[in-house]
Amino acid sequence: MISPTRWWATSGRAGPGTVDSEVNMKRTLIPLFMASIAIFPITLLPQQKLTATNLPDFLARYDTNFGSLEAVYKDLTNENLPLTDEAGQPLARRPLADRLLAVTNLRQTARQFAAKPEDLVLASTVVIRTESLADDLFDLSQVAYDNDREDLGNRLSTLQITMEENKELLADYLLALAAEKQNRLQQLEKEVDELHQKLKEGMKPAGPGVR
């Protein structure tokens, strides 16, 4: 059976010590996050934009997909389909048990992210793992179609499309969050410079007329 075409969418002021510490930490993290998310497309409609306010509700809906994911992975295990492509080459990057564990870990991370919507590490992790899950679902849908399991292939394809769409929404949120953190870092750096300048001015020797 011919496999279907894959779908792609492709603050208050702080003291010098506290500010310096926060600046140094974020100066290290921000470039890493900006680089890691640069690969994700931004093709979203304005009304679909996620914010820190509506993200928990979105992730609650996102969470409802995991029941279907666990069910389809269970069915794949029961089907015992050969994880190879049409040329007989291994298609799976890892066993189904490992893939299911990755799904469980993603669900847990997404729930943590819902409770901390401004956490860049959690945001990056959810986006990257959602992308990986979508890739897995596409691979597995091809296995199902190639073995004439059309119903199973359709279920996998539907879930893959859903995860692609979720990834795009989350990636857009991640980019906005990283930009916000970058702006905050720049503001902190400005405050540090101002504090250092004031300290230097305060240490200048007084003139002869000053007692």
Q: What residues does each domain of the chain span?
A: 51-192
pLDDT band at 196 (very low <50, low <70, confident <90, very high): confident
**Per-residue pLDDT tens over the stretch 119-145:** 999 999 999 999 999 999 998 998 899
Separation of alpha carbons 113 and 169, rounded Å: 14
* 69 has a pLDDT exceeding 60: yes
pLDDT for 141 equals 93
CA distance 182 to 176: 10
What burial letters (b/e) apply to 133-153, b meaning 16+ CB within 10 Å? bbebbbbbbbbbbbeebeebb
> Which residue, 186, 136, 142, 182, is CA-closest to 160?
136
Which pLDDT belongs to residue 36? 45
Q: What is the DSSP track for 136-166?
A: HHHHHHHHHHHTT-HHHHHHHHHHHHHHHHH
Q: Quick one: pLDDT band at residue 191, thresholds 50, 70, 90?
A: confident
The pair phi, psi for residue 77, each rounded to 5°, is -65, -40
Per the CB < 8 A criterion, the answer to whether 1 and 141 are in contact is no
pLDDT of res. 62: 97
Residue 26 has pLDDT above 60, yes or no: no
Q: Could you write out the DSSP letters of every residue in 86-112? A: TTS-B--SS-HHHHHHHHHHHHHHHHH
pLDDT, average across residues 35-40: 42
- Digit-coded pLDDT (tens) for 145-157: 988 999 999 999 9
Q: What mean pLDDT, rounded, does the chain reach?
A: 78
Calculate mean pLDDT across residues 167-179: 95
pLDDT at position 121 is: 96
Mean pLDDT for 82-93 is: 63
